[in-house]
Chain A
Amino acid sequence: MSQTVTEAPATTEPRGGKAALSEGKKAERRLGLLLCAPAAIVMLAVTGYPIAYSIWLSLQRYDLRFPAERQFVGLDNYVAVLSNSYWWTAFGTTMFLTVVSVAIELVLGMALALIMHRTLVGRGLVRTVTLVPYGIVTVVAAFSWFYAWTPETGYLANALAGDGAPLTEQWPSLWIIILAEVWKTTPFMALLLMAGLALVPDDLLKAASMDGANAWQRFTKVMVPVMKPAILVALLFRTLDAFRIFDNIFVLTKGANDTSSVSMQTYNNLIKGLNLGIGSTMSVLIFITVALIAFVFIKVFGTAAPGSDQGGKR
């Protein structure tokens, strides 16, 4: 039980409690800034301008094909997008896909993590094999599903769909998109969860076992609480990512039959339609939505935002 004695000095000391910084404290600050500087500089250098530029563009009427008509329009683009039914249909679809696929991924990912962590035989094999779906290029995997569900060509369509063509109807398409997403990203979930599993002290499980706890109780009462930070981090990352789903839909349906996501719409307006104003507005809206999701995760569920002192320990 080393966990309890490992409270780091930085987090136990009351912040700003001392009048003057000691030498050690100063050195710590310097080191902290020094260590973070390279990462911060790279991230800001590459993305600072593009993000600011997108926000600026979202306030303008700007179509690449009609450059002469460029003008500042304030929030008009936001009004146009937010009052448009295509946008809201796509928004609903995206929400649905995100919630359902992340929920399934959590359950399967947990199961996979447990298997990878505890299996007695072929541990190496299982761990390696599980990561294959994650490693496969998304576009190629989507392409595999596309062919599998195409009548005649595909074994799944022939075996399961009878005469129908599942990728031509809204609901079957959505479930196939979810299937492709889940298959592809469950290993990611499992990997992050496994990292959390490794933190569950063995003696704690043994003790619980001796106290007569069954497997399910051991799981919910001992493992899940210890793993909570890892679970929330995994959920946060997957949700942020799932909300921006693009590749799978692009290959499987191209957004036909109301299966378009908000990222597909952004692509259609920004890259294909060359309407920089409307397209950037959509990007910013996606960004805001995703930021809200992150906010909820961190503030409401208490996801360990690194640095929000001892956030992960609660």
Chain B
Amino acid sequence: MRKSAAVLGAAIVGAGTLTACGAEGGKQINVYYAPEDNFQTVVDRCNEQADGEYRIVYNKLPRDADGQREQMVRRLAAGDETMDVLGLDVTWVPEFAEAGWIEEWTGANKEAAERDVLPGPLETARWDGKLYAAPKNTNVRLLWYDDRITPEPPRTWDEMMRMSRELKQQGEPYQILFTGAQYEGLVVTFNSIVESAGGRILSEDGQSVVMDDGAVRALEILKEVTTSGLTDPSLTNQQEDQVRQAMQSGRGAFELNWPFVYASWAAEQPDSLQHFKWAPYPGVGSPDSGRSTIGGYNLAVSSASRQKPEAFEAALCLRSAENQKFSALNDGVPPTVESVYTDETPLDPSKPADPEDNPSMATEYPMKDTILAELKDAAVRPLTPAYQNLSTVMSKILSPPSEIDPQRTADELRNQLTDALDSKGVIP
């Protein structure tokens, strides 16, 4: 079903680019957004709704986030007027806003963009007290486990490491799997532990480096988990998909990853799906302190766009509650609008919900309550225009995690992050 939708989408793209050349007189709104299999269908729905007032054209960006950012930045810096709506990763809003590349959302648009949006995702769309983007989708890492190995999931990192050690002694799958390669994913892991420990990396306003006791505690945990033989040998080369595969191949007892792993497990190992369970992100110290770092995308309007009113309208449509639900069910991207989680109507409201060909939030997201709970108290990555520098420096200094020396590494981070914030010095 998914496949045919994709083919249909592509066919429409093909047809779309043809008609776009014929001057219809209507305005063309160019959307630049990451590849998402069924996003074209969302675009088509919005075009129908616009009823000829404007036509949205979906321009795909590359798959990897760096590639997306590079393309947009290059064109924005050159004052490209042909970009209207931009799909921004949650960490880019301060950077784009500070550089004057994206428009502030005000008035009715702002109201519509903020309505019923969960606090975590909304925070990522703000900078300097103003709203610069409309949250399109979010994401949150959960703790995944196999209930045949551990009937009760651990609730803290200490507990998880203790259980893992016991499993190792018993000869069971024991590994604790998370993204440990030198890239953004390692920063996400680190940030989650810091926030769970009640620590901070940057000050509230993003102007200075804090690296408090909580951050040092997080370094200690990273060090401990990677030096006690509980992680995968490939840890420092693992990104999200390698982590998923390691868990599916039966090496891991615990996996910290985004919910896409559930759909993959369902597709590839349906027989054991009933044992693939989820739990909230583990805490540090107290059981309920776990806070997971959020991901996802926000839609912004380019400052160079010559048709901003239409661009705002188009962006609002592309991330409307209804379309967020469509994307959540077809492309596995969790919504930012709270009410979608409790929406029980399946994709085709005329027929009853069916996991095979008429999914609903309940069939596709059995873990939706856990996701929602995590989102209500989520960790946000440091908000600063220099985030990219910060991330590169952090992932370099934290690699490999087994060589962290908590106090010394904290000092190093404090020094180098301060330089990175001022865009001084060399990025590794």
Where the two chains meet, the residues of A that have a C-beta atom closer than 8 Å to any C-beta of B are 63-67, 80-81, 84, 86-87, 150-153, 163-165, 167-168, 253-257, 260, 265, 268-269, 271-275, 278
Contacts and interface: CB of A to CB of B under 8 A. Distances in A.
Contacts of B424: 80
Nearest to B416: A86
22 contacts: A64-B73, A65-B95, A65-B98, A66-B385, A84-B426, A86-B427, A86-B428, A151-B232, A152-B249, A165-B233, A168-B236, A253-B237, A254-B183, A256-B237, A260-B428, A265-B427, A268-B392, A268-B427, A272-B70, A275-B389, A275-B423, A278-B426
A63 B98 CA distance: 12
Contacts of A150: 234, 237, 242
Contact of B426 (A152, A164, A269, A272): A269
Contacts of B181: 254, 256
Contacts of B235: 165, 168
Interface residues of B, number: 36
Contacts of B386: 65
B69, B98, B237, B423 interface centre (most CB from chain A within 10 Å): B237
Interface in B410-428: 423-428
A87 B136 CA distance: 39
Nearest to B242: A150
A268 B423 contact: no
Contact of A153 (B77, B245, B392, B396): B245
Contacts, number: 99
Given A80-B426, A152-B246, A64 B99 contact: yes
A65 B182 CA distance: 24
A134 B310 CA distance: 49
B370 interface: no
A9 B87 CA distance: 65
B66 interface: yes
Closest 10 A/B residue pairs (Cβ): A256-B182, A165-B234, A168-B236, A84-B426, A165-B233, A63-B423, A86-B428, A167-B237, A273-B427, A168-B237
A151 B233 contact: yes
Given A81-B426, A86-B428, A260-B428, A272 B66 contact: yes
B409 interface: no
Nearest to B420: A273
A75 B235 CA distance: 41
B35 to A, nearest CB: 17
A66 B423 contact: yes
B237 to A, nearest CB: 5
- Name A's interface SS: loop
A168 B181 CA distance: 8
B198 interface: no
A164 B233 CA distance: 6
Contacts of A275: 389, 423, 427
B233 A272 contact: no
A63 B246 CA distance: 40
B388 interface: yes
Given A64-B99, A254-B181, A168 B400 contact: yes
A220 to B, nearest CB: 44
B399 interface: yes
A67 to B, nearest CB: 7
A165 B181 CA distance: 12
Contacts of B95: 65
A273 B425 contact: no
Interface string B148-188: 00000000000000000000000000000000011100000
Given A150-B242, A167-B237, A168-B234, 7 more contacts: A65-B385, A66-B423, A67-B99, A86-B396, A151-B233, A254-B181, A257-B400
B233 A273 contact: no
A178 to B, nearest CB: 17
Interface in B215-245: 232-237, 242, 245
B73, B181, B235, B427 interface centre (most CB from chain A within 10 Å): B427
Contacts of A272: 66, 69-70, 388, 392, 427
B73, B236, B428 interface centre (most CB from chain A within 10 Å): B428
A152 B245 contact: yes
A151 B399 CA distance: 20
A65 B428 contact: no
Nearest to A264: B428
B183, B388, B423 interface centre (most CB from chain A within 10 Å): B423
Nearest to B233: A165
Nearest to B403: A257
A152 B426 CA distance: 37
Contacts of B183: 254, 256
A273 B237 contact: no
A195 to B, nearest CB: 38
Nearest to B385: A65
Nearest to A170: B400
Contacts of B426: 80-81, 84, 86-87, 265, 269, 278
Given A65-B95, A257-B399, A274 B427 contact: no
A165 B249 CA distance: 16
A309 to B, nearest CB: 44
B417 to A, nearest CB: 14
B70 A271 contact: yes
Contacts of A273: 388-389, 392, 423, 427
A81 B249 CA distance: 44
Contacts of B73: 64, 274
Nearest to B428: A86
A134 B143 CA distance: 44
A252 to B, nearest CB: 9
B301 to A, nearest CB: 19
Interface in B243-283: 245-246, 249, 251
Nearest to A252: B237
Interface in B343-387: 385-386
A65 B77 CA distance: 9
Contacts of B427: 86, 265, 268-269, 272-273, 275, 278
Given A65-B386, A255-B182, A257-B182, A165 B237 contact: yes
Nearest to A81: B426
Given A168-B233, A256-B237, A80 B242 contact: no
Contact of B423 (A65, A81, A168, A255): A65
A89 to B, nearest CB: 9
A265 B428 contact: yes
Contacts of B425: 80, 84, 278
